[in-house]
Chain A
Amino acid sequence: MMLKLGVFELTDCGGCALNILFLYEKLFDLLEFYEIKEFHMASSFKEHDTLDVALVTGTVSTQRDLNLLHYARNHSKYLIALGTCATHGDVQASVEGKIREKLEKVYGTKANPMRALDSTPIVQHVAVDYALPGCPYDKDEIYQILMNLAKGVEPPTKDYPVCIECKLNEYECVLIKRGTPCLGPITLGGCNAVCIKSKVGCIGCRGPLPKEANPAGEFEILKELGYGEEYIRRKFKTFARGELRW
């Protein structure tokens, strides 16, 4: 039995939907188990049907987004919040201010005919069955998750910081050795520490590590390195404003 898959894109950069196409031949492997019923970036085909799996990317930033999200939730058995926009709000949720003020600054009017909302992650609006953060998420991870589901297995959740993958790759620690601000110690791993490979610090795009993270400790380290408190605070909340832990 083929599983029915839908990809729904709310307000975002398109990266989390695009990343599915970047699976290349692995996408064709997935298509042995899944039938795509909705994926507007890639297909004009659309069938209103009950879905086995819905992937939802982006933040709720308009009334239309909210309606689409509820549609996806009501029509799917298993819903995955895909990408940091969906799981934590990403950069657009970190923009301060109320929607009317923001609209005024940008469009010169407080009128809101298109019904824009302050950006929020989808997990604030509906129950999700799985949340995969990353801006964008690691594409092999979504492949594994979908394969697991096709075989009836609940996919595992990662729970270690970026630092672990940095050590496994034997990259030089940019925080300690170079004094570069790096959020690796308090950010959820799963990206293979790709930014540290480029010798730049982790900017926290996978969102905060849920359990043992020690943001207060990280805060102190950065302060000792000479970074201002406001700077550090902004850095902490860029991808996960709604998250209390940061």
Chain B
Amino acid sequence: MVSIEIDAFTRVEGNGGAEVIIENGEVKDVKVKIFEGPRFFELLTLGRYYWDVPDLEARICAICYLSHSVASVLGIERAFGVKVSKEIELLRELGLLGELLESNALHLYLLVAPDLFGYSDAIRMATKHGEIVKEGLAIKAFGNYIREIIGGREIHGINVKPGGFGRYPTVEELERMERQSEALLRLARRGVGIFAGQEALGAKPVHYIAVNGYLYGDKLIASDKDTFDYFEHIEEKALSYSFAKQSRYKGEIFMVGALPRVLLKSEMLTPMAKHLYEEYKEKLAQGYVSLNNLAQAIELVYALERTKEITRELLDKGIDGENVPIEPQEGEGIGYVEAPRGVLIHHYKIDEKGNIAYSNIITPTAFNHAIMELSLYEEAKRRYGTSDESTFLQKLEETVRAFDPCISCSVHVVRL
């Protein structure tokens, strides 16, 4: 038995690698190893006053901190039975759109594009294809601008609060968002053409899972048309070779992320994004995990169009800036959010004083751990012996990258 080690995936967030096990000249198994150290977020929040918790949970991941803040706030509000206004709902959605723009653009233009153009990174790629890198950066910077206004900072802002916000955006800020989303649409449309070109890599998942609303909701949906709470059908298990656990849906491997979102929720897309979805429908339906990149590119168009819709609606109506008062009481609640990489769950039980008594957080990369491993296995099997070693390794890395894995967030899977 021999094995090929990928010491550390590059151009992914966090620390992880893989081991491809070869027996009698054949790929026998692949292990995806997450060796980023555990950070014990659920232990960190136990006993803490609810108000302080979203700010701490944000630190799980920088690329999608706002998804964590929102999921945390939703879980807390549901535990208390708090209902917020339409305005607050729209502003939260706006924040999540900013995050989708920032994260998808980072992934596509800085991490994936160098593979398509044959460079080791976007900085080196910029010498020949500067305009593409710059376009991606422009979209990403706009996403960050929205995160800064809604979330309070580009990274780890503390403006998203149970019951509302610390500070509400001004008319000028909303107008600027409306203008910029319009201006960037053309670039995002061009991006769809660029990322549609990637070859099929990895496995085809048996199931896709997403949240019932496009960016957040109160239940999960699956490709077999079920609507459910995560603990009904999803099971996790710990592994000896990884700090991240693996999950199964009704005992089978599934995927979360942009591809599941556009496939399961195409009817919720905005006009231009829907049009693009129709154009690539057959391709997307092939289901290979690398099509996640194309789905992310379509989502950039969606996010810009939706940002325009929301800012217009808020500008027409005017901002009230009213928070909903909260009286802590004993309760249990789950927040379901679509982080850019897929389904994110924050589940809490809170005691009568408002302190966290139980907390369970499941992140998209943990959900995707099993399908990632299967994808590497299938890709390795297809290629072993037919491509040279550097292509072999390159394609395995590309397969992993398609998941846009965010490894630091995958290691907090726990049930207490």
A-B contact pairs, 23 of them (CB 8 A): A9-B15, A11-B36, A11-B408, A13-B59, A15-B59, A19-B155, A21-B110, A22-B144, A24-B137, A41-B12, A41-B13, A59-B37, A61-B37, A65-B37, A90-B59, A105-B43, A106-B42, A106-B414, A107-B238, A114-B242, A116-B38, A135-B156, A203-B158
CA distance A59 to B408 in the complex (A): 12
Chain B residues whose C-beta falls within 8 Å of the C-beta of A28 in the assembled complex = 126
Q: Which 4 residue pairs spanning A and B have beta carbons closest together? A: A61-B37, A15-B62, A43-B121, A11-B37
Cβ–Cβ contact A36 & B123, under 8 A: yes
A187 interface residue, CB < 8 Å from B? no
Q: How far is the CA of A111 from the CA of B44 in the complex (A)?
A: 21
- In the complex, whether B240 has a CB less than 8 A from a CB of chain A is yes
Chain A residues lying within 8 Å of B242, measured Cβ to Cβ, are: 114
Q: For the complex, is A113 an interface residue (Cβ under 8 Å from B)?
A: yes
Residues of B in contact, count (CB < 8 Å): 66
**In the complex, A176 has a CB within 8 A of chain B:** no
Q: Is A31 on the interface with B (CB-CB < 8 A)?
A: yes
With A18-B63, A40-B10 already in contact, the answer to whether A95 and B40 are too (CB < 8 A) is yes
B278 at interface by CB-CB < 8 Å: no
For residue B179, CB closer than 8 A to chain A, the reply is no
Would you call B35 and A18 a contact (CB within 8 A)?
no
Q: How far apart sit A116 and B112, CA to CA, in the bound complex (Å)?
A: 31
Contacts of A245 in B (CB 8 A): none
Is the CB–CB distance between A106 and B43 below 8 Å? yes
Query: What are the interface flags for A95-111 relative to B under an 8 Å C-beta threshold, 1 for contact and 0 otherwise?
Result: 11100001101111101
**B interface with A by C-beta (< 8 Å):** 8-15, 35-44, 48-49, 52, 55-56, 59-63, 65, 106, 110-111, 114, 120-124, 126, 137, 141, 144, 152-159, 161, 165-167, 238, 240-243, 245, 397, 406, 408-409, 414, 416
A15-B65, A21-B106, A22-B144 known; A198+B158 contact, CB < 8 A: yes
Cα A246 to Cα B173 in complex, Å, equals 38
The docked-state distance in angstroms from the alpha carbon of A81 to that of B120 is 26
Which of B38, B42, B56, B158 meets A195, CB within 8 Å?
B158
18 more contacts with CB within 8 A, not counting A18-B63, A94-B44, are A11-B408, A13-B59, A14-B63, A22-B154, A39-B121, A41-B10, A42-B11, A91-B41, A106-B414, A106-B416, A113-B240, A113-B241, A114-B242, A116-B38, A195-B153, A199-B166, A200-B161, A205-B156
Chain A contact residues, CB within 8 Å of chain B: 9-16, 18-19, 21-22, 24, 27-28, 31, 36, 39-46, 59, 61-62, 64-65, 90-92, 94-97, 102-103, 105-109, 111, 113-114, 116-117, 119, 135-136, 194-195, 197-200, 203, 205, 231, 234-235, 238
Q: How far is the CB of B88 from chain A (nearest CB, A)?
A: 15
CA distance A19 to B147 in the complex (A): 14
The reply to whether A44 and B152 contact each other, CB–CB distance below 8 Å, is: no
Q: Nearest Cβ distance between residue A78 and chain B, in whole angstroms?
A: 21
CB of B79 to closest CB in A, whole Å = 19
Residues of B within 8 A of A194 (CB): 152-153, 157
Contact A45 B124 (CB under 8 A): yes
Please determine whether B167 and A45 come into contact, CB atoms closer than 8 angstroms: no
Q: In whole angstroms, how far apart are the Cα atoms of A110 and B55 in the complex?
A: 30
* Residues of the A chain whose Cβ atoms lie less than 8 Å from the Cβ of B238: 107-109
Chain A contacts for B408, CB-based, 8 A:
11-14
Query: Of B14, B62, B240, which contacts A136 at CB under 8 A?
Result: B62
Contact B35–A62 (Cβ < 8 Å): yes
Q: Is the CB of A44 within 8 A of B59?
A: no
A40 to B401, CA, bound (A): 13
Partner of B59, one of A22, A43, A91: A91
Per the bound structure, the CA–CA distance linking A113 and B34 in Å amounts to 12
**A108 contacts which chain B residues (CB < 8 A)?**
238
Assess whether B159 is in contact with A198, with CB atoms less than 8 Å apart.
yes
Closest partner residue, chain B, to A197 (CB atom) = B167
Enumerate chain A residues within 8 angstroms of B159, measured Cβ to Cβ: 198, 200
Contacting residues, chain B, for A136 (C-beta < 8 A): 62, 155-156
B11 near A44 with CB under 8 A, answer yes
Instruction: Give, as a whole number of angstroms, the nearest-CB distance from B347 to chain A.
Output: 15
Q: Which residues of A contact B158 (CB under 8 A)?
A: 195, 198, 200, 203
Instruction: Collect the chain B residues with CB atoms within 8 Å of residue A199's CB.
Output: 166-167
Distance to closest chain B CB from A47 (angstroms): 11
Residues of A with C-beta under 8 A to B114: 44
Q: Who on chain A is nearest to B12 by CB?
A: A41
The CA of A90 and the CA of B156, in the complex, are separated in Å by 13
Complex Cα distance A22/B238, Å?
35
Q: Are B137 and A95 in contact (CB under 8 A)?
A: no
Chain B residue at minimum C-beta to C-beta distance from A11: B37
CA distance A31 to B416 in the complex (A): 46
Docked CA distance A13–B363 (Å): 13
- Decide: A116 and B123 in contact? CB cutoff 8 A: no
A117 B38 Cβ-Cβ under 8 A: no
The residue from B38, B124, B156, B167 contacting A102, defined by CB atoms under 8 A apart: B38
Which chain B positions have C-beta within 8 A of A117? 37
- Contact yes or no, A61 B240, CB < 8 A: no
The reply to whether B243 and A198 contact each other, CB–CB distance below 8 Å, is no
Asked whether A44 and B121 contact (CB < 8 A) given A92-B40, A109-B238, the answer is yes
Return the chain A residue nearest B412 by Cβ. Answer: A106
B167 (CB) vs chain A CBs: closest residue: A198
In chain B, what residue has the closest Cβ to A238? B56
A61, B39: Cβ atoms under 8 Å? yes
The one of B14, B43, B65 that contacts A95, using a Cβ cutoff of 8 Å: B43
CB distance from B415 to the nearest CB of A (A): 9
Q: How far is the CB of A114 from chain B (nearest CB, A)?
A: 6
Known: A42-B121, A135-B156. A102 touches B43 (CB 8 A): yes
Nearest neighbor of B243 in chain A, beta-carbon distance: A114
For B55, give its contact among A64, A97, A203 (CB under 8 Å): A203
The closest CB in chain B to the CB of A117 belongs to: B37
**What chain B residues lie within 8 Å of A92 (beta carbons)?**
39-40, 44
B137: chain A residues within 8 A (beta carbon): 24
Chain A proximity of B37: nearest CB distance (Å): 3
Partner of B10, one of A43, A96, A238: A43
